Amino acid sequence: MAQDGAHDLAHLQRVVAMAKRLANIERANPFVIVPAAWLHDIVNLPKNHAERHLASHYSATEADAFLSELGYDDRDREAVKHAIVAHSFSANVSPKTLEAQVVQDADRLDALGAIGVSRCLMVGGQLERFLYEVDDPFGNERPLQDDVYTLDHFYQKLLCLEGTFHTRAGQQEATRRTQFMRAFLNQLASEIDP
């Protein structure tokens, strides 16, 4: 796995912990969820990589080979592969199983709240993007460009995630974390234009 500050071991640990929590609440299969959560970013391409949308497919292939060596049966491996492929926002694959929904929700929760704000800013810095466009920081009168301005990513993607959650517990946590992000952006607005 390529290392970056937003997709490090701590990210995996948070996603696994949340996936276990959601799995317990939803009564989903932990033998699918736990390996899928641990291995979902085994192939991690930079956000600006041309094949970024294929990273979850590459991760699923690597995970399948690893789990085969461990003796996972074909049915469970297929379920893990689907959960890994479907977790990705950029792959745009709908989760067809409860386990895939849980893994997707757990990963998306890590893009929200205080940790989501932190990760977004880290990635923006790593990709050498401006924090915001000086004349219109929040994109009120211009097209959003999150490949240029980090704040635009909040409006192009992160604040839109709340409506994409599948599990009830995931949705509740997404709402709470999104409220925090909106409060952060309101505070930022007051500091940009006092």
pLDDT at 31: 94
Write out pLDDT tens, residues 85-137: 999 888 888 999 999 999 999 999 999 999 999 999 999 999 899 999 999 99
Task: Report the length, in residues, of the chain.
Answer: 194
Domain chopping of the chain, boundaries: 1-93, 112-193
Intrachain domains 1-93 and 112-193 with the same fold: no
**CATH number of the 112-193 domain:** 1.10.3210.50
Question: Does the 1-93 domain belong in CATH 1.10.472.50?
Answer: yes
- 115 in Cβ contact with 86 (< 8 Å): no
- Distance (Å, whole) CA 194 – CA 175: 28
Q: Give the predicted TM-score (pTM) of the model.
A: 0.92
